[in-house]
C-alpha cells in the first residue's frame, strides 16, 4: 500500500490539476452521488483537466452503500472503456469515498483513485487512511479492503454546502482526534462555538485534525495496534448507531459523540482519565448533540450489538480508553456490569 498524499488546498483547480498530473492515466472517471452531482460538481466544471472525465452517478446516503451500487459502478467503468490504467476521482462524503475506493481497488484488480471529500466527516476521517468498502448482510462496512487513494484533496470551501447536523457529525471525529492528541487541541475543540461555527477557524482545525489521523495511520495502516486509537467512542457508538437504525436513524458522528460519553466514563473508572476533563467533554457533547433516549430495557440489545463489533477478538468486546488526553490505552475490556454502569452514566450523568 503506497502512502497517500493529503493536500489541504487553497485553490481546488490547481491542487486537482497537480494531483491528476501525478497519476498517469488513459481515461478519467468521476464518481458522484445525486447530491454532489448537483451541489459540488458544478464547482469543478471549469477545470480543463476534468473536461475529458466521464461521470458516474450513484444514489446518495448509506442505504446505497451496497453490492448493487458497487456492481453498477463496475458496470459503468467496464461499459465506458476503463482499463487498468484508468483513474477514478471520488467526489462526495464517506459513502462515495468508501464505495468508490472499493470499486477502484477491485476493478481489473485495482486502478488508481483520488478522493475529494465534500463532508466534514469524510474530510477528517473517511477519505483518509485507505479503508474502503460497502455494507453487507445488514452489517456496516462488512466487505472491503485497505487501499490508499493516491491523493486526498481537502477543499474546506465544500463545508459551506453542509447543514448544521452534518457539521456536528464530522466534528465528533475531530473531538475524538483532540482526545487522542494534545491538551491544546482538545481545549480548542471543547471551547469552539459549534452552534455558530467560525468557518475560517474550522478550516484550520480540519487541517490539524487530519494530521492526527495521518500520523496514526502511517504508524499502523492495517489497524494491528495504534490505529485502534481511532476507535475511541466507536464501540458504544456503533451499537448506538445500529440501535437507532431500527428506530430513528442518527448520523454516524452523533453516534460517535454519544459513544464518547460512556467510553470516557469507563476511562475515568478503569484507566485514570481525569474526571474534570471527562465532565467538560460530556457537557460539550450534551449541549451540541442532545442525547439518545435509551432506557435500561435497551441495555441487553446494546451489549449484544457490541458483541458483533468486528474489532472484537475471541468474543471479548474491545475498547479503546484514555489514561489522560493523548495517553491512549488500546485493547481494554470491561465487564457487563461496568458496561451497564457506563450506560447508566450516559442516561443520567
Instruction: Answer for the pair 267, 278: CB distance below 8 angstroms, yes or no.
Output: yes
Nearest to ligand GLY of 279, 310 (CB atom): 310
What does the binding site for ligand GLY look like in residue numbers (CB under 6 A)?
Answer: 125, 129, 131, 223, 227, 230
8 strand-pairing partners:
154
Least distance between ligand GLY and beta carbon 223 (Å) = 6
Least distance between ligand GLY and beta carbon 330 (Å) = 12
Residue 145's SS3 state is coil
Lookup: cell for 183: 491538551
Nearest to ligand GLY of 39, 145 (CB atom): 145
Q: How far is CA 152 from CA 129, 130, 140, 173, in A?
A: 10, 10, 23, 17
Nearest to ligand GLY of 129, 178 (CB atom): 129
Least distance between ligand GLY and beta carbon 127 (Å) = 10
Q: If phi over 0 gives left and psi between -120 and 50 gives alpha, with beta otherwise, what is residue 110?
A: left
Least distance between ligand GLY and beta carbon 180 (Å) = 11
Nearest to ligand GLY of 155, 223 (CB atom): 223
Least distance between ligand GLY and beta carbon 126 (Å) = 7
Least distance between ligand GLY and beta carbon 124 (Å) = 10
Rounded to 10°, the helix 164-179/275-289 angle is 170
Smallest CA-to-CA distance from 229 within 129, 142, 135 is with 129
Nearest to ligand GLY of 20, 117 (CB atom): 117
Nearest to ligand GLY of 237, 262 (CB atom): 237
Strand duo 87-92 + 54-58: pairing: unpaired
Instruction: Answer for the pair 118, 57: CB distance below 8 angstroms, yes or no.
Output: no
Label residue 132 exposed, middle or buried (CB < 10 Å: 0-12, 13-18, 19+).
buried
Gap between the Cα atoms of 79 and 129, Å rounded: 30
Query: Closest CB to ligand GLY belongs to which residue?
Result: 230
Least distance between ligand GLY and beta carbon 234 (Å) = 7
Number of helices (H), then strands (E), belonging to the chain: the values are 13, 10
28 strand-pairing partners:
87
In the chain, which ranges are E strands? 5-8, 28-33, 54-58, 87-92, 112-117, 134-136, 139-143, 151-154, 319-324, 327-332
Nearest to ligand GLY of 298, 309 (CB atom): 309
Least distance between ligand GLY and beta carbon 213 (Å) = 7
Gap between the Cα atoms of 23 and 170, Å rounded: 29
Nearest to ligand GLY of 173, 298 (CB atom): 173
Nearest to ligand GLY of 53, 206 (CB atom): 206
Residue with cell 493523548: 326
Smallest CA-to-CA distance from 153 within 31, 51, 35, 16 is with 16
Least distance between ligand GLY and beta carbon 146 (Å) = 9
Amino acid at each position: 500500500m503506497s502512502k497517500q498524499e493529503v493536500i489541504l488546498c487553497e485553490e481546488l483547480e490547481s491542487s486537482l490539476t497537480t494531483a491528476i498530473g501525478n497519476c498517469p492515466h488513459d481515461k478519467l472517471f468521476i464518481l458522484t452521488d445525486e447530491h454532489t452531482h448537483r451541489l459540488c460538481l458544478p464547482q469543478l466544471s471549469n477545470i480543463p483537466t476534468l473536461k475529458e472525465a466521464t461521470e458516474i452517478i450513484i444514489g446518495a446516503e448509506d442505504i446505497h452503500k451496497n453490492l448493487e451500487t458497487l456492481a453498477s459502478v463496475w458496470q459503468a467503468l467496464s461499459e465506458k472503456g476503463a482499463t487498468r490504467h484508468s483513474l477514478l476521482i471520488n467526489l462526495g462524503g464517506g459513502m462515495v469515498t468508501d464505495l468508490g475506493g472499493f470499486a477502484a481497488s477491485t476493478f481489473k484488480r485495482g486502478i488508481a483513485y483520488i478522493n475529494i471529500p465534500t463532508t466534514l466527516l469524510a474530510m477528517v476521517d473517511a477519505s483518509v487512511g485507505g479503508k474502503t468498502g460497502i455494507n453487507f448482510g445488514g452489517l456496516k462496512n462488512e466487505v472491503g479492503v485497505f487501499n490508499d487513494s493516491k491523493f486526498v484533496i481537502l477543499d474546506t470551501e465544500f463545508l459551506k454546502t453542509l447543514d448544521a447536523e452534518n457539521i456536528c457529525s464530522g466534528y465528533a471525529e475531530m473531538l475524538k482526534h483532540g482526545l487522542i492528541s494534545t491538551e491544546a487541541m482538545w481545549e480548542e475543540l471543547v471551547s469552539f462555538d459549534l452552534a455558530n461555527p467560525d468557518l475560517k477557524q474550522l478550516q484550520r482545525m480540519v487541517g490539524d485534525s487530519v494530521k492526527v489521523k495521518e500520523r496514526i495511520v502511517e504508524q499502523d495502516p492495517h489497524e494491528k495496534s495504534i490505529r485502534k486509537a481511532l476507535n475511541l467512542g466507536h464501540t458504544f457508538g456503533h451499537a448506538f448507531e445500529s440501535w437507532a437504525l431500527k428506530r430513528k436513524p442518527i448520523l454516524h458522528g452523533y453516534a460517535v459523540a454519544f459513544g464518547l460519553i460512556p467510553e470516557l466514563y469507563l476511562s475515568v473508572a478503569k484507566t485514570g482519565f481525569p474526571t474534570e476533563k471527562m465532565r467538560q467533554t460530556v457537557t460539550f457533547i450534551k449541549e451540541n448533540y442532545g442525547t439518545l433516549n435509551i432506557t435500561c430495557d435497551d441495555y441487553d440489545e446494546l451489549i449484544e450489538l457490541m458483541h458483533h463489533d468486528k474489532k472484537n477478538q475471541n468474543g471479548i468486546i474491545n475498547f479503546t480508553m484514555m489514561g489522560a488526553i493523548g495517553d491512549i490505552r488500546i485493547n481494554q475490556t470491561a465487564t457487563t456490569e461496568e458496561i451497564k454502569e457506563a450506560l447508566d452514566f450516559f442516561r443520567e450523568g
